[in-house]
Amino acid sequence: MSYTFAKEERLCSKRLIESLFRNGSSFVVYPYRVVWLCKPASPSPSVPVQCIISVSKRRFRKAVDRNALKRRIREAYRLQKSDLYKLLEANSLHLLLAFQYVGKEKEPYTMLHQRMEKVLAKLQDEHIPNHMDKTD
């Protein structure tokens, strides 16, 4: 598995984003709020996960700060996504994800990396298996 974050992995479609926030479930692992929606994969899925990362303009006025946080979050996700991909590909599922940064201050990268690990573990252990039980 390559540790890249390609264009296909970014959630850009307005229709899919709207569907994610309308029908998706969410949980919080500080400093992230994660909104996710799992559905059966299409016949020719390009990638098993598409995600969007957002940082509040209200909390971080300067674009430099918002972009730095998004870059750190993207890097933490990119390095740890492989296990999630394997689980989804094995069960032929497609996952839409939104990572929203809800912290009030800029956290160091090491903390963001650790919390991303918890987020992805929680998705794999609790939420996605529950979805697989419902579809069987």
pLDDT tens digits, residue range 73-130?
999 999 999 999 999 988 889 999 999 999 999 999 999 999 999 999 999 998 887 7
Res. 59: pLDDT tops 70: yes
pTM summary value: 0.91
Alpha helices for 3-127 (secondary structure H): 14-23, 63-80, 82-90, 109-122
pLDDT tens digits, residue range 4-54?
999 999 999 999 999 999 999 999 999 999 999 998 887 766 899 999 999
**DSSP letter (8 states) at residue 45:** -
Check if CATH label 3.40.50.10860 holds for domain 8-129: no
The Cα–Cα gap between 21 and 69 comes to: 22
Measuring CA to CA, how many Å separate 97 from each of 53, 62, 116, 136? Answer: 9, 25, 13, 22
* Pairing mode, strands 49-55 and 32-40: unpaired
